[in-house]
Structure 1
Amino acid sequence: MSKTEYLTTEELASRIRYDARTVRERLKDSVLLEGIHYIRPFGGRKILYMWEPIERDMGTQSGNQSFSIPMANGGRMNG
């Protein structure tokens, strides 16, 4: 059983090199989905992002420095 790595909004933003505000306002609920990419522990307001599904869905492969984020209109944003 693998251990899930949970990240705060700020930690995720730093890891994917986005502003935390962009994660909260543009990515959350459009490409980062509750129950798949993030949870609200104990039914509260705090959000914790799950790194493994986000990394998988960005298309990152082990050892590859480039990544892309699926966009709501079907395109991809490369980083």
Structure 2
Amino acid sequence: MNLTYLTTDELASRIKYEPRTIRNQLMDSCLIEGRHYLRPFGRRKILFIWEHIEKDLMLGCSDTIGMPLAS
């Protein structure tokens, strides 16, 4: 299976969020390490797995990923 790995900036442009929001809010509450993103070679660099994020976005799974809404 070919997976598409995205940087934070690339993911931000696809889902229309600021990179800072992804790093500070979504990674702490919605995105699961090992499913939605990984840290290659145990380093600081983060790569997001687009197919897994897209699937969970389309399904609307509240237990795996949820996007905060503006009030």
Other-structure match for 2:2:
3
Which consecutive unaligned segments of at least 5 residues does structure 2 have? none
Q: How many residues align?
A: 68
Moved segments of 4+, more than 6 Å: none
Question: Whose helix proportion is higher, 1 or 2?
Answer: 2
Other-structure match for 2:40:
41
Question: Whose strand proportion is higher, 1 or 2?
Answer: 1
Structure 2 length normalisation: TM-score? 0.81
Give the percent of matched residue pairs that are identical in Structure 1 and Structure 2. 53
Which structure is richer in relative contact order (CA contacts within 8 A, separation 6 or more)?
A: 2
Which consecutive unaligned segments of at least 5 residues does structure 1 have? 61-67
Larger radius of gyration: 1
Structure 1 length normalisation: TM-score? 0.73
